[in-house]
Amino acid sequence: MKMFRVLIAITFIWSLNACERPAEQMERPAYALAIHGGAGVIKAELMSPEQDSLYRNSLHEALSAGEEILKAGGSSLDAVITAITILEDNPLFNAGCGAVFNANGFIEHDASIMQGSDKNAGAVGAVRNIKNPILAARQVMEASLHVFLVREGAEQFAALQGLQIVDPSWFMVSKQRKKYEDTKATMLEREIPLGEKHGTVGAVALDNAGNLAAGTSTGGMHFKHQGRLGDSPVIGAGTWADNASCAVSATGHGEYFIRLGVAQDIASRMVYGGQSLNEAADQVVMHELVQLDAGGGIIALDKDGNICMPFNTAGMFRASVKAGELPFIGLYASDSLLVN
Amino acid sequence: MKMFRVLIAITFIWSLNACERPAEQMERPAYALAIHGGAGVIKAELMSPEQDSLYRNSLHEALSAGEEILKAGGSSLDAVITAITILEDNPLFNAGCGAVFNANGFIEHDASIMQGSDKNAGAVGAVRNIKNPILAARQVMEASLHVFLVREGAEQFAALQGLQIVDPSWFMVSKQRKKYEDTKATMLEREIPLGEKHGTVGAVALDNAGNLAAGTSTGGMHFKHQGRLGDSPVIGAGTWADNASCAVSATGHGEYFIRLGVAQDIASRMVYGGQSLNEAADQVVMHELVQLDAGGGIIALDKDGNICMPFNTAGMFRASVKAGELPFIGLYASDSLLVN
């Protein structure tokens, strides 16, 4: 019994640190990749064995596809885009197909991408008919004079760029429609638990050339106001990449992540404060955000290939891999104890 | 002749430092306020005496209205909102009435506000019919669950909050319409000079309670793509306020300001790097932005009441005042030499 308590205490302390690999990397791996599928009330006891497997397999699929690109010498940008596109297309996650409904009963997507080599970036917000919002974010970065486009302007630009446009119903899955209708019918009677409100997908990668990239995509907050943007399309809040420091993709209660400039703050702590990735990410996620009662987490990867994935919620869908290592897949806090 | 050259050199060095009051404040003033009306190709030789006076009087009017609030013990937030509202209503500046046209021939406004006491914030993007976008940003902060609303969602929210809604033609002035029509007719033949493309209004204030606030409002970039957001509505890029460090409002080539997270970066350099406001603002505006060939400037105010207004363009419409001091009004780099 005492040993069990000690084990619980160790688990707790480990989850507070919340970095998958506590030791700092000594030699930069040929590549590294981390992805997430949102943070929230993700607990083993709320998940059937089938659901558990489904999430793990889905994360593994996106991670593997991204890893293939990096293994073949591809860019971190391509790896991030590939992994996120797969997560957007997967109805399990709150991005692309399967995204949450807003208070008006339809879906608006946000996404952004940033590359660490020149800190170039692209973002789209409140877009309704672009099949893969992360591809639109990339086109904004690479083929427009701008960094950030929203609504019709973004939708028209994406169509002109030849991206796939779909009927808004394409994104709607019955689980999210039911949640919307339940909330609409009972909105005065209950608060939606945080874990059901949020969700995001994202990826960070380091390629063989030493270039970092980060991307994030989401349907935003369940029952959000029409036109609401969270942190996901905001460069500096939900997404940041700089070869001088790190790449970060965030997930959680976006309003607070904007107010703290979470992704950029982690990088600034490293650049100006001399903090390690672990220290910086831990301070922001486990202290600054917690002080504001803001649930969520981040995935981050520094220029030396160190990976850190802290979250202050019960769980976070996440996965990571480095050249020459087996992949790590985690859903719950307890997964942190898995040996990779 | 030699003396003239020395004077030119001194002027140049002074403008590089670009802070109105180089000495750091020893004792916090009861209040302080700075405003801007955009940076660009603002040169004495391009301005008639009448235009020069018009700009100076307009800046003085907005500064005085904000100062009245601070002098009476009002909040920095109210002072910032008041000054910006006056600049939005003034057709001389690219915000509210008088804003630039986008490539589709209409106007979309961006604005944001942030208060340093709790880092709460509000922003609106690509809104078309809200008379004073900065008031909508404030309502988003104070009366919604969100931080950032765009397009119809923001417009509907503003209307429900009782803000004044106007016909989009209300914002259109003949000077901007002519610029739009000229560009449309000749867009393949000439590039618009930077100074004619951008423009923004903003304010930063410190009140007697020690609270900082910052706000920014703009019509964005001349002939921009529909739905384009610049740095003005992006918390961390165009606007930042934190009582622990400083308040910043930016103006310039917004895409680069987003990519560098300009406003938040200045604060981070102070908090984590121990830089003074002058050092931090100078590094970002005169070095980081210049390296990217990104024109613009910022106004900033630290918690001790130091004011800094660097710009890397020929000029910036700007004004500042502190309790017990005469106001400073500047248009050109040479105005920095004026004794306040």
The residue type of B2 is K
Cα–Cα nearest to B273, from A289, A264, A275: A275
Q: Is A157 on the interface with B (CB under 8 A)?
A: yes
Cα–Cα nearest to B300, from B215, B218, B204: B204
Question: Which residues of B belong to the active site?
Answer: 200
Residue with tokens 């991204």: A66
- Break chain B into its structural domains and give their ranges: 30-233+317-339
Contact (CB, 8 A) for B234 and A148: yes
Residue with tokens 């804003």: B99
Q: In a 10 Å sphere around its CB, with 0-12 CB exposed, 13-18 middle and 19+ buried, how is residue B104 labelled? A: middle
Residues in chain B within 8 Å Cβ distance of A146: 224-225, 228, 255
**Total CB pairs under 8 A between chain A and B:** 146
Q: Is A154 on the interface with B (CB under 8 A)?
A: yes
Please report, for chain B, how many H helices and E strands are present, in that order: 11, 13
- Cβ distance B227 to A153 less than 8 Å, yes or no, reads yes
> What is the DSSP code (8-state) at residue B288?
I
Residue B190: per-residue pLDDT? 52
Position A257 pLDDT exceeds 90? yes
Position A303 pLDDT exceeds 60? yes
Alpha carbon of B6: minimum distance to chain A alpha carbons (Å): 37
Instruction: Say how far apart CA A194 and CA A313 lie, in whole Å.
Output: 9
Q: B14: which 2 tokens? A: 């002074």
Whole-model pTM over 0.90? yes
Instruction: Say how far apart CA B106 and CA A227 lie, in whole Å.
Output: 20
pLDDT (tens digit, 9 = 90+) per residue, B43-85? 888 889 999 999 999 999 999 999 999 999 999 999 999 999 9
Instruction: Say how far apart CA B108 and CA B125 lie, in whole Å.
Output: 8
Average model confidence (pLDDT) across chain A = 90
Q: Is B232 on the interface with A (CB under 8 A)?
A: no
Low-confidence ranges of chain B (pLDDT < 70): 1-26, 187-197, 337-340
* Segment of A33-42, A58-67, B167-176 carrying the highest mean pLDDT: A58-67
**A227, A259, A275 member nearest B153 (Cβ):** A227
Residues in chain A within 8 Å Cβ distance of B230: 148
Contact (CB, 8 A) for A83 and A327: no
Cα–Cα nearest to A118, from B40, B286, B255: B255
Q: ∠ CA(A199), CA(A203), CA(A209), 5° rounding?
A: 170
Instruction: Say how far apart CA A24 and CA A270 lie, in whole Å.
Output: 14
Instruction: Say how far apart CA B223 and CA A292 lie, in whole Å.
Output: 40
Sign of CA dihedral A78, A84, A90, A95: negative
Kindly state the helix (H) or strand (E) to which residue A5 belongs, with its residue range.
Answer: helix A2-17
Q: Is A125 on the interface with B (CB under 8 A)?
A: yes
Position A265 pLDDT exceeds 60? yes
Q: Is B234 on the interface with A (CB under 8 A)?
A: yes
| pLDDT mean over A240-255 | 97
Position A73 pLDDT exceeds 80? yes
Instruction: Say how far apart CA A20 and CA A16 lie, in whole Å.
Output: 11
Residues in chain B within 8 Å Cβ distance of A224: 146
Residue A196: per-residue pLDDT? 58
| pLDDT mean over A75-80 | 98
- Cβ distance B225 to A152 less than 8 Å, yes or no, reads no
Complex confidence, ipTM:
0.92
Instruction: Say how far apart CA A195 and CA A180 lie, in whole Å.
Output: 15
Residue A26: per-residue pLDDT? 65
The residue type of A331 is L
Q: ∠ CA(A55), CA(A58), CA(A59), 5° rounding?
A: 85
Q: Is B120 on the interface with A (CB under 8 A)?
A: yes
pLDDT (tens digit, 9 = 90+) per residue, A193-219? 555 567 899 999 999 999 999 999 999
Q: Is A145 on the interface with B (CB under 8 A)?
A: yes
Q: Residue B326, by phi and psi: left (phi above 0), alpha (psi -120 to 50) or beta?
A: beta
Position A1 pLDDT exceeds 60? no
Instruction: Say how far apart CA B288 and CA A10 lie, in whole Å.
Output: 45
Q: Is A191 on the interface with B (CB under 8 A)?
A: no
End-to-end CA, chain B = 28
Share of chain A above pLDDT 70, in %: 88
DSSP string for A256-323: HHHHHTHHHHHHHHHHHH---HHHHHHHIIIIIHHHTT--EEEEEEETT--EE--BSSSEEEEEEEET
Show Cβ contacts of residue A291 under 8 Å, excluding neighbours closer than 6 positions. Answer: none
- Look at A227 and B47; give whichever has higher pLDDT: A227
Residue A217, SS3 per DSSP: strand
Cα–Cα nearest to B284, from A241, A214, A303, A268: A268
The residue of chain A nearest to residue B291, with distances taken between CA atoms, is A118
Position A242 pLDDT exceeds 70? yes
**Which residues between 192 and 231 in chain A have a beta carbon less than 8 angstroms from any beta carbon of chain B?**
224-230
Cα–Cα nearest to A213, from A223, A221, A203, A222: A203
Q: ∠ CA(A50), CA(A52), CA(A56), 5° rounding?
A: 115
**A151, A237, A273 member nearest B151 (Cβ):** A151
pLDDT (tens digit, 9 = 90+) per residue, A174-191? 999 998 998 888 765 455
Contact (CB, 8 A) for B282 and B18: yes
Residue B259: per-residue pLDDT? 98
The residue type of A266 is I
Contact (CB, 8 A) for A35 and A59: yes
Residues in chain A within 8 Å Cβ distance of B228: 146, 148-149, 153
The number of angstroms, rounded, from the C-alpha of A287 to the middle of its chain's C-alpha atoms is 19
Residues in chain A within 8 Å Cβ distance of B226: 152-153, 156
Q: B65: which 2 tokens? A: 């209205």
Q: Crossing angle, helix B76-89 and helix B133-143, to 10 degrees?
A: 150
Q: Which one of B115, B197, B226 makes the best mutation probe of the A interface by having the most chain A beta carbons within 10 Å?
A: B226
Contact (CB, 8 A) for A203 and A179: no
Residue A111: per-residue pLDDT? 98
Q: A70: which 2 tokens? A: 């990096």
